[in-house]
């Protein structure tokens, strides 16, 4: 790809790598660029004249005549579909199977890429966010302010070169906007004064007076030191970074933080290419969040970061089960001896050069001084999407030279995900589709199955209920028991995980299937035994509550059945689907939703998040003979889901409809 200033479009016309759209010869006519614009709005490459007219706000007759003219010039092909209108598509569409094509929409700051190679993906990942990852419909990248703010370049010219390499052209309009965001990201910084206290510095008196001193008060700063410097209140650094970030000015953190005692760590495994890239990006900035699907090796990459830092490390996790698993993994893959690794939680309390603690313990006043008094070279926040919550946020007050977060899906239903990056660091990751393509992580087959009611009693109860009670009744539809039985019998050789959100439902399924139910009520030693049996193939089926989403490190499986629980959050869908992601492939995920209820809508909307990450989602309606659930045979046909839709479940909440016994952990 080469820079070609002549391809620069104006306004928000798409800028393409190379087509010659004929617009110079027919300036007043519809151009192939206009058609691409309509195609992008419609989300498909093949359009009727009516669809083009709607997208471009033209009379249909005008659109039809313009399409005919484009076809006469050879830019479009026409195809008459039986029982349907004529459809139109670009002539070069037939050639897209063997070449990459990039279209830029500078005004909307969107980039559409067909068949991008790995180099292009890697370049785009440095300044753009993969919004739609369904390869069949192309890849849609969006350039957001936060993507520019965390770009791994010391100078804007380096970022500009990366953009031109990725786009195959120079887009002045997009580059001007990116440069303005680059400038915003370098207006403020935190630094250590020669007397030891922290100073907030602004690039100019104007930016200091018009932004920082308007947004901050005596809780954050003591007093001005100069026109461009304020003396920072001790402990308010995180709040300052969050407030200015939300105002559109990320703060560069250049404080001389203590790095703790040296702790040489040798790493005993070879990192994958993308994992090494993550570690290199982390090394450049000293902070960040590793974002990747379950199974991509974020924990192993974090140990690579530990080896790079070579200092005492605190790892914060949601549960004692994860603390134990972290300790075992560190001992297995690094040169550290067991006496150098400690755990601090309800089960044991040992502070060592590498300590794994739970968020809850680290945030308690009576334990906090133990962590405050030690100089950590690195703090790792596992499952860092929890960090903005009130309970976990206190742990982010722990200061260290390096901070690292890990998350499969750093999203929150309360829209506080930006705080993850202000409190921990910028996102560092590889798009899921690239990992699928390279075979590092296998894409599971995901199917939503719409299940009929198991009996009239529950169906009548649903009809007379309202609000969250309706969702609870649909989630616990007893007809799902027959469907779980059917799916397990259809895959008799699979290692399977069945997920539920409610204790009552879990107990009913456990009794029907005659299997243990692993929930928050299960003693820790019993959890460990069940999980080890599953890992060693001594058990091929586990029924798991919400405690399995993040609180424990579940082994991977061939088959995952989500009997209930996708109405709560997009993150939950990611975690549960991720339990089947592994290099071997062939894994299946079935999501059960009661047909014709709110649960059906929730499941479809929440799984769109996975569709945008590159996973293909099918939908199937389950038909039964009779009212007793029948034999589980299916009469419905599977249809492909619209995986690149933009809407989300606006009314979904973090905790779904508790019943009288309460949802599982």
HEC string of 493-522 equals CCCEEEECCEHHHHHHHHHHHCCCEECCCC
Same domain for 240 and 91, yes or no, is no
Same domain for 196 and 309, yes or no, is no
CATH number, domain containing residue 400: 3.40.50.300
Same domain for 406 and 480, yes or no, is no
Same domain for 629 and 565, yes or no, is yes
What's the whole-number mean pLDDT along residues 337-357? 90
Q: Between vectors from CA 296 to CA 290 and to CA 299, what angle results, nearest 5°?
A: 60
Task: Report the pLDDT value the prediction gives residue 566, as an integer from 0 to 100.
Answer: 58
Is 227 inside any structural domain? yes
Is 647 inside any structural domain? no
Q: Token pair 């309390």 is at which residue?
A: 349
What's the whole-number mean pLDDT along residues 386-398? 69
Q: What sign does the dihedral 452-458-463-469 (CA atoms) show? A: negative
**pLDDT tens-digit profile of 302-333?**
999 999 999 899 999 988 888 988 999 999 99
Task: Report the pLDDT value the prediction gives residue 203, as an integer from 0 to 100.
Answer: 94
pLDDT confidence band for 348 (50 / 70 / 90): confident
Q: Exposure of 416 by Cβ count < 10 A (0-12 exposed, 13-18 middle, 19+ buried)?
A: middle
pLDDT higher at 636 or 28 = 28
**pLDDT tens-digit profile of 168-222?**
888 999 999 999 999 999 999 999 998 889 999 999 999 999 999 999 999 999 8
What's the whole-number mean pLDDT along residues 593-612? 77
Same domain for 218 and 120, yes or no, is no
Cα–Cα nearest to 356, from 51, 366, 338:
338
Q: Token pair 């052209």 is at which residue?
A: 169
Is 645 inside any structural domain? no
Same domain for 549 and 634, yes or no, is yes
b/e for 421-455, b at 16 or more Cβ within 10 A? bbbbbbbbbbbbbbbbeeebbbbbbbbbbbbbbbe
Question: Which two three-digit tokens encode residue 436?
Answer: 């699928």
What percentage of the chain reaches a pLDDT higher than 70?
73
Cα–Cα nearest to 590, from 567, 548, 547, 558:
558
Same domain for 202 and 237, yes or no, is yes
| Domain end marker among 144, 170, 196 | 170
Torsion of CA 634, 637, 641, 647, to 10 degrees: -70
**pLDDT tens-digit profile of 120-177?**
877 888 888 877 765 555 788 899 998 898 787 878 999 999 999 889 888 999 999 9
Is 260 inside any structural domain? no
Range from 220-224, 480-484, 547-551, 592-596 carrying the lowest mean pLDDT: 547-551
Q: Token pair 């070449």 is at which residue?
A: 99
Q: Exposure of 511 by Cβ count < 10 A (0-12 exposed, 13-18 middle, 19+ buried)?
A: exposed
Question: In 10 A of CB 107, how many CB atoms?
Answer: 14
Mutual angle of helices 320-333 and 298-309, in 10-degree steps: 60
pLDDT value at 584 more than 50: no
Round to whole Å and give the CA distance between 656 and 498: 18
Residue 37 domain boundaries: 5-170
Is 662 inside any structural domain? no
**Three-state secondary structure call for residue 255:** coil
Cα–Cα nearest to 146, from 278, 359, 289:
289
Q: What sign does the dihedral 317-318-319-321 (CA atoms) show? A: negative
What's the whole-number mean pLDDT along residues 253-259? 73
Same domain for 122 and 68, yes or no, is yes
Cα–Cα nearest to 580, from 225, 295, 371, 378:
295
Three-state secondary structure of 175-231: HHHHHHHHHHCCCEEEEECCCCCEEEEECCHHHHHHHHHHHCCCCCEEEEEECCEEE
pLDDT higher at 598 or 414 = 598
Is 109 inside any structural domain? yes
Is 200 inside any structural domain? yes
Specify the DSSP element, H or E, that contains 298.
helix 298-309
Cβ-based neighbours of 246, under 8 Å, separated by 6 or more: 418, 422
**In terms of DSSP H, where are the helices of 405-502?**
417-423, 432-438, 456-464, 468-475, 479-490
What's the whole-number mean pLDDT along residues 526-551? 80
Name the domain count of the chain: 4
Task: Report the pLDDT value the prediction gives residue 624, as an integer from 0 to 100.
Answer: 65
Mean pLDDT of the chain: 77
Same domain for 299 and 380, yes or no, is yes
b/e for 69-87, b at 16 or more Cβ within 10 A? ebeeeebbbeeeeeeeeeb
Same domain for 17 and 114, yes or no, is yes
Same domain for 294 and 222, yes or no, is no
| Domain end marker among 393, 409, 430 | 430
| Domain end marker among 170, 198, 227 | 170
Is 658 inside any structural domain? no
Range from 96-110, 146-160, 188-202, 617-631 carrying the lowest mean pLDDT: 617-631
Range from 5-19, 102-116, 467-481 carrying the lowest mean pLDDT: 5-19
pLDDT confidence band for 20 (50 / 70 / 90): very low
Same domain for 604 and 510, yes or no, is yes
Round to whole Å and give the CA distance between 363 and 345: 11
CATH number, domain containing residue 124: 1.10.10.10
What's the whole-number mean pLDDT along residues 411-427? 66
């Amino acid at each position: 790809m080469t820079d070609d200033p002549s391809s620069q479009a104006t306004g928000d016309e798409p800028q393409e790598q190379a087509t010659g759209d004929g617009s110079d010869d027919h300036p007043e006519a519809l151009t192939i660029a206009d058609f691409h614009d309509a195609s992008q709005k419609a989300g498909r490459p093949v359009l009727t004249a009516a669809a083009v007219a709607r997208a471009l706000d033209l009379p249909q007759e005008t659109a039809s005549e313009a399409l005919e003219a484009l076809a006469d010039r050879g830019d479009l092909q026409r195809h008459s579909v039986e029982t349907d209108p004529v459809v139109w598509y670009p002539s070069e569409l037939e050639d897209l199977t063997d070449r990459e094509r990039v279209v830029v929409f500078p005004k909307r700051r969107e980039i559409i890429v067909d068949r991008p190679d790995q180099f292009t993906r890697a370049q785009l990942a440095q300044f753009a966010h993969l919004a739609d990852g369904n390869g069949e419909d192309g890849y849609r990248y969006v350039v957001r302010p936060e993507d520019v703010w965390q770009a791994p370049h010391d100078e804007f010219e380096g970022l500009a070169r990366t953009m031109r390499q990725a786009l195959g052209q120079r887009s002045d309009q997009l580059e001007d906007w990116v440069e303005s965001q680059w400038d915003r990201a370098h207006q403020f910084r935190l630094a250590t004064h020669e007397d030891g206290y922290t100073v907030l510095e602004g690039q100019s008196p104007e930016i200091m007076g018009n932004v920082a001193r308007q947004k901050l008060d005596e809780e954050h700063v003591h007093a001005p030191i100069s026109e461009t410097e304020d003396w920072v209140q001790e402990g308010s650094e995180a709040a300052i970074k969050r407030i200015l970030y939300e105002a559109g000015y990320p703060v560069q953190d250049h404080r001389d933080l203590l790095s703790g005692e040296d702790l040489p760590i040798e790493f005993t495994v070879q990192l994958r290419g993308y994992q090494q890239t993550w570690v290199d990006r982390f090394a450049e900035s000293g902070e960040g969040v590793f974002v990747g699907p379950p199974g991509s090796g974020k924990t192993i990459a974090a140990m690579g970061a530990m080896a790079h830092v070579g200092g005492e490390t605190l790892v914060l996790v949601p549960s004692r089960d994860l603390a134990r698993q972290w300790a075992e993994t560190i001992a297995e893959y690094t040169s550290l001896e067991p006496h150098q690794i400690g755990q601090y939680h309800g089960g044991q309390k040992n502070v060592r050069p590498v300590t794994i603690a739970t968020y809850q313990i680290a945030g308690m006043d009576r334990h906090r001084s133990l962590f405050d008094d030690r100089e950590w070279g690195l703090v790792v926040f596992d499952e860092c999407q929890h960090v903005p919550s009130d309970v976990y946020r206190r742990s982010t007050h722990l200061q260290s030279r390096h901070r690292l977060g890990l998350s499969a899906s750093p999203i929150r239903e309360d829209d506080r995900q930006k705080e993850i990056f202000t409190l921990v660091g910028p996102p560092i990751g590889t798009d899921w589709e690239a990992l699928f393509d390279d075979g590092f992580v296998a894409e599971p087959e995901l199917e939503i199955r719409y299940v009929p009611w198991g009996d009239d009693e529950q169906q009548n109860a649903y009809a007379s209920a309202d609000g969250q009670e309706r969702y609870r009744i649909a989630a616990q539809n007893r007809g799902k028991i027959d469907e779980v039985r059917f799916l397990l019998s259809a895959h008799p050789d699979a290692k399977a995980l069945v997920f539920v959100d409610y204790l009552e439902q879990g107990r009913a399924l456990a009794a029907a299937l005659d299997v243990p139910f692993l929930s928050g009520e299960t003693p820790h030693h019993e959890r460990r035994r069940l999980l080890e049996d599953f890992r060693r193939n001594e058990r091929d089926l586990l029924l798991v509550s919400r405690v399995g989403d993040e609180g424990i490190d579940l082994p991977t499986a061939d088959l995952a059945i989500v009997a209930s629980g996708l109405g709560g959050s997009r993150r939950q869908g990611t975690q549960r689907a991720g339990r089947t992601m592994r290099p071997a492939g062939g894994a299946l995920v079935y999501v059960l939703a009661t047909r014709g209820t709110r649960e059906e809508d929730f499941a479809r909307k929440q799984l769109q998040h996975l569709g945008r990450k590159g996973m293909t989602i099918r939908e199937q309606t389950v038909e039964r003979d009779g009212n007793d659930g029948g034999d589980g045979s299916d009469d419905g046909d599977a249809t492909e889901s619209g995986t690149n839709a933009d809407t989300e479940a606006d009314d979904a909440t973090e905790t779904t409809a508790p019943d009288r016994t309460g949802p599982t952990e």
